[in-house]
Structure 1
Amino acid sequence: RVLAATAARALEAVGLPGNSEFQSTLIEQLPLATRQLVAIARAIASEAKFVIMDEPTTSLTQKEVDNLIAVLANLRAQGVTVLFVSHKLDECYAIGGEVIVLRDGQKMAQGPIAEFTKAQISELMTGRHLSNERYRESAHAQDIVLDVRGFTRAGQFSDVSFKLHGGEILGVTGLLDSGRNELARALAGVAPAQSGDVLLDGQHIALRTPSDAKRHRIGYVPEDRLNEGLFLDKPIRDNVITAMISSLRDRFGQIDRTRAQALAEQTVKDLQIATPGVDKPVQSLSGGNQQRVLIGRWLAIDPRVLILHGPTVGVDVGSKDIIYRIMQRLSQRGIGIILISDDLPELLQNCDRILMMKKGRVAAEYRADELSEADLYHALLSEAA
């Protein structure tokens, strides 16, 4: 009883239900963002005087982040010291206090965060100047590559329709219960839609399984790369070639190791993956480099459509910059890109159009170059209301 009451207080402190039904739910049945909040609640329940939070807002929506920042303020008011490890500068400024900037294992600066500008901290973190300007230049209209009509999966999304042009970057955003994540998985054949039509280059296709998506050259980079995307203990080479093993087999059914090695090495070079060799396990890489390995896997199938689900979740600002530039290069090759994200600057800097989802439906469409971050944020909250 005492344990249940303690758990209830901690869960409610991070905005989760404290009732017995929620407490008895298996963690594996919860969405990634909710699991993250449970982990934070566990730290609160311990009543520690010093709490270390390592990237605690990974996969959280803006609403949940705001809630966590309020929780941190309460902890500090109670005399708890918090070490908040993050590369998200907006959150660091909202929390306030002292900042320590690290790069390549070295301390670059320390002091009250209010004494630094975001540009200064970004440059200290990466060693180069990063701009907040749009990465996206005006895209030239190309033929429709993907036409989704009336896509529906009961209880998750309903009657979703949109068109994606070749070379276009289409953003999809919304709150956690908006259906945006479920839409991404349906387009990848992971959790297929129950009704609706999909046309690829004008031809009807079925997306019932991930193999269907791969066969039609639709690549999918999942939000949870550690559990859904990568084989962490396997070499970079094996992770890159996974999606195209069949085409690398010789006439005896054996994998052509020379071609596999060359493909992996070219991927490492093209995507600027920092590693001494493609035989190194993926778990030896940083989050940003791991993500580029996953993107490289799908580039190996020469995709017509690439679905990027939270592509920069848990990566540093330097890796974000590289991934954004990779996205722009891919769009210039005519690949249609769907970017599922709740990172508003990411959407505004990289997309041509942005679809906003609410309660499983497309509620609004915006041109990214005509929108400010404040406008998009207010629209997101108003849609929720």
Structure 2
Amino acid sequence: MTSTTAPVPEADGETASVRAARARSAEIEQRIARDPSMFRVLTGDRPTGALHLGHYLGTVANRVRLQDAGVDVIVVVADYQVITDRDETGDLPANVREVVLDYLAAGIDPRRTTVFAHSAVAALHQLMLPFLSLVTVAELERNPTVKAESVDAATRQGRSMSGLLLTYPVHQAADILAVHGNLVPVGTDQLPHLETSRTVARRFNQRYTAAQPYFAEPEALLADMPTVLGNDGAKMSTSRGNALELRADEDETAAYLRRARTDSHRHITFEPGSRPEVASLLRLGAHFAGTTPEALADTIGADGAGRLKEVVTEAVVEGLRPIRARRRDLAADGRAVVGEVLARGAARATVLAEGTLADVRELMGTVYS
């Protein structure tokens, strides 16, 4: 249950719950290495536009890693969630197409990973109704991510929180539990959402199937990659206009990184707390160069921010070259390719969700024939 008391940060700035989640994630990684078949991952994105570097480093690359490790990965293209905090969906078919093409180019294999559109699996959404009965309005209103997104929507669009935004954590619970996902890759800011999913699973079991729990409480797998900053120093985001799309060409990449904010200190060091913009560039370059931010900083030393940007640009351009080449090839017949991937994914997700819904109805005593 969500606490009404704000969590107290420890000396390193993290709460005890985050530290515990990190420790648990390390244990889970060891279990994945031993037996990946124990896990089913549910994750996804809202299709508000093509994916950018923040998406790739924060989530997509990790999904490919888990897929290649042998974990059953299910990715939802959450088209229904586009309207949680906005009145218009934009060109949703085009945006969904771009997102799926980015997945495929980045290494998501639809033969091993299930990719489906949120709106295509009706049974998943039917589960929301009984799940909503398991949480209170007060608990939803206290969810820090819901509160933050509500403020953001009001600031950007001058609108009140929608009922869909308020119940978003329960919708997420339906996404996860409908396919019996037991592992969800998240950042620390998403832990409260996942706690709602765990609460729903636990309360359903207590109310309807206490003797033999039906739902596993999904666990968090914390992402290793910290927040990726845009070239203005704020979190990379399509809505802020500060993102570098995966599909951008080499010239656009170089121009973007030349505009990246740094600081006035010439000697390059990796100090995330005091030099966040420089640290973000170092992380970015290190990821694609196959090294560490500290080692990359040492190679640049006193050569300054200009050299840092050159090194990072070269690493990013080379690292993304095969992804961008695959994307160009896929885009030549993008509509057909994406349609086939989503149809295959929806077929599997529907079987899983309909099976869960049938079980839930049976356990609740709402089967009458």
Relative contact order, higher structure (CA 8 A, sep 6+): 2
Higher relative strand content: 1
Higher relative helix content: 2
Structure 2 length normalisation: TM-score?
A: 0.24
Structure 1 length normalisation: TM-score?
A: 0.24
